[in-house]
Structure 1
């Protein structure tokens, strides 16, 4: 019985060895594919982790409350919030800044007599990184003629990137939320907060 088991074991060992020799190219391809998929998965995960946007609730509250003030005062405003896509190739000029977001600093930037109020404020995560930024303007003929340069600039950026743009009209005080080429008029300030929380948190 012991001898028989040795013979059977030797036989199967030989068969396995023969299969490895015969199918060596296929086995090699299989392991290469397996390894490449594992590394690809790790690469995708690492990219995803790096692209996660870290926005604090306090930042959102400051933006929302500031927009409410700007809307009431009919102060012209253009705020850009970077999401996953880097905006550096789509934004021209502007003044570099490194400031935490709060209501007083946003009010001082967009104050009508401030030298910084023209152009866009660019926000990355919880900081203002640029003021007076110039955005690519949209020439889409479907945009209503009543919308000015701020709206066209916001829509233009949304045509090229995944950024969020918030515009306050200095003529009407209306707040527009622009993302993915779609403009939503904010009729209630709480709706602005809900949209930001949905897209950022």
Structure 2
């Protein structure tokens, strides 16, 4: 009897890839309702194994039918998490650069925002914060957010601090919802954003902050929020919310994301 087990390099790679995928799955559903659903499905699966071990044929047959459509059920239940996982892969800058996907699928419809235009955005956020005027500005990156642009009023105007402040002025019909910025254009306003299901967020946070986290979970966009209650500026990126950032931090982050990424193209 051979007591030695041969472990190939591919076996180790297989284990590492599975571990990586499980970790990414955990990070995507952590703190969301989907995590509780996943635990529930896992407990149902363990119960089914117990039923099979005890040879309970009727209950085992019934649960077998349920388990049989498990993959389809998982796709339906976890569609947002699957979308976020695919987005994580598709929006990876290094992977796209390596495969040449950026040049293949890039759009030249919108020119990149200049340093001066980003300064106008920052100036507008600073003025909105000073007057405690609520605002939600979405900055698109690789995705043009077309499905979200359709939910609002199309503007397609050049970036201007005065225009941004006018959009979010309380008495204007456009102040509710989000303004979407693509490249050097304010494309639309009063756009409807998806609301996050992240249960770890502070319950005191309003719909603007939850919508900002929601859109950055579903896409590669960056969201800037100005609180109507406190006048504080916050940033959401990749489903993570950074509260009470300074104007300097806001400036550094936007310039790092947009100006440096434009230099790579």
TM over 0.5: yes
Rate the CA distance shift 1:53–1:145 in 2: closer, same or farther, 3 A: farther
Rate the CA distance shift 1:53–1:165 in 2: closer, same or farther, 3 A: farther
Question: Counterpart of 1:47?
Answer: 104
Question: Counterpart of 1:106?
Answer: 164
Higher share of residues assigned helix: 2
Question: Counterpart of 1:140?
Answer: 198
Question: Counterpart of 1:67?
Answer: 125
Question: Counterpart of 2:139?
Answer: 81
**Bigger relative CO (Cα 8 Å, ≥ 6 apart):** 1
Cα displacement string for residues 13-34 of structure 1 (whole angstroms, at most 9, x for unaligned residues) = xxxxxxxxxxxxxxxxxxxxxx
Alpha-carbon distance, 1:140 to partner: 1.2
Cα displacement string for residues 114-142 of structure 1 (whole angstroms, at most 9, x for unaligned residues) = 11100000010011111100001112111
The answer to whether 1:152 aligns with 2:152 is: no
Rate the CA distance shift 1:43–1:135 in 2: closer, same or farther, 3 A: same
Aligned-residue RMSD, C-alpha? 2.1
Runs of 4+ in 1 over 4 A off after TM superposition: 48-53
Alpha-carbon distance, 1:93 to partner: 1.4
Q: TM-score, normalised by structure 1?
A: 0.74
The answer to whether 1:162 aligns with 2:220 is: yes
Secondary structure of the residue aligned to 1:89 is: helix
Question: Counterpart of 2:115?
Answer: 57
Secondary structure of the residue aligned to 1:136 is: coil
Where structure 2 has 5 or more consecutive residues not aligned to the other structure, the ranges are 1-97, 260-265
Higher share of residues assigned strand: 1
Where structure 1 has 5 or more consecutive residues not aligned to the other structure, the ranges are 1-40
Secondary structure of the residue aligned to 1:176 is: strand
Q: TM-score, normalised by structure 2?
A: 0.57
Alpha-carbon distance, 1:50 to partner: 4.2
Cα displacement string for residues 134-188 of structure 1 (whole angstroms, at most 9, x for unaligned residues) = 0011121111101100111110001111101000000011101111011112442
The answer to whether 1:129 aligns with 2:161 is: no
* Matched-pair contact (CA < 8 Å) for 1:137–1:155: yes
Alpha-carbon distance, 1:86 to partner: 2.9
